[in-house]
Amino acid sequence: MKFEDAHYPTPKCKHGTETIPLWSCDHSLQGLFQSEELDHPCLDGRSKEKDIRNLTKFYPEYLPLFYKWDKIRMYRAGKASMVEKDEDGKSVHAQLMNERSWELNREARIQGCVKAGLKSGPINGPALYQNSKGIWDPEYDYVRKEWSSNAGKIGGAVTVEKKVGLHDPKYKEQFRQQSIENGSKTSAQVWECLVTGHTAPPGPLSNYQKGKGINYKDKSLRRRLS
């Protein structure tokens, strides 16, 4: 049991700012007394489980009173969410409650999202791809390209900053040797332009075709000789 700041004489739901220290169990009970006195549910739905535990252990005779006011609280909250809307027609109350819940349980919510994604991703992902739904809808081709580009830039910047992956110092010599080998292999290739018959390595041939006004990106206009 620990002390908690209980709003008194005016409850927090009535914009009270003064508080007094009460044991957690007595704080749960005080909310019921204020509810009866003001005819208004002075309960916080976020502490519902804690209040039930406290009352069950220390004041079980007040449990019926708690359920009465908790029911009223939920009814009024639901009514308020149906009436008060923002300019987009969304419930103001529901958005507020969601924001509060997120701030109070941020880590738990993040972990929950990660776990849900790990379970649903392998199932929903292939289904969306096969049916061309969601981000795989052809209408979103341009969006996917932009997302991929942005994600690549962000991921690349992170690898450079943290010196991981190909930017890890311990792989520097290995990647350098691979670059030399790959460059040598590429430079040793000979390609022929099928429009003019000119032959050259890949890079120089692209520059040649570009200079001649040939679509150098169209690989059907060239063939590899060696």
Using one digit for the tens of pLDDT, what is the confidence trace for 105-117?
666 666 777 777 7
Q: Given 59, 84, 109, which residue is the final one in a domain?
A: 84
Residue-level pLDDT at 111 = 73
Structure confidence by residue, pLDDT tens digits, 71-80: 998 887 766 5
40 in any annotated domain:
yes
Alpha-carbon span 191 to 202, nearest angstrom: 6
134 in any annotated domain:
no
Q: What is the 3-state secondary structure (H, E, C) of 82-120?
A: HHCECCCCCEHHHHHHHHHHHHHCHHHHHHHHHHHHHHH
96, 80 Cβ separation under 8 angstroms: no
167 in any annotated domain:
no
Mean pLDDT across the stretch 2-24? 91
Structure confidence by residue, pLDDT tens digits, 135-172: 667 766 666 677 677 777 777 777 777 777 766 777 77
Least confident of 48-62, 138-152, 155-169, 181-195: 138-152
182 in any annotated domain:
no
164 in any annotated domain:
no
Residue-level pLDDT at 103 = 62
Mean pLDDT across the stretch 91-99? 68
Confidence of residue 34 (pLDDT cuts 50, 70, 90): very high
Q: Given 84, 114, 143, which residue is the final one in a domain?
A: 84
Alpha-carbon span 13 to 72, nearest angstrom: 14
Residue-level pLDDT at 86 = 63
Mapped onto helix, strand or coil, the DSSP state of residue 7 is strand
Q: pTM for this one?
A: 0.37
Q: Given 84, 108, 124, which residue is the final one in a domain?
A: 84
- Looking at every residue in the chain, the average pLDDT score rounds to 81
Q: What is the DSSP letter of 213?
A: T
Confidence of residue 51 (pLDDT cuts 50, 70, 90): very high
Residue-level pLDDT at 171 = 75
Range of the domain at 218: 189-224
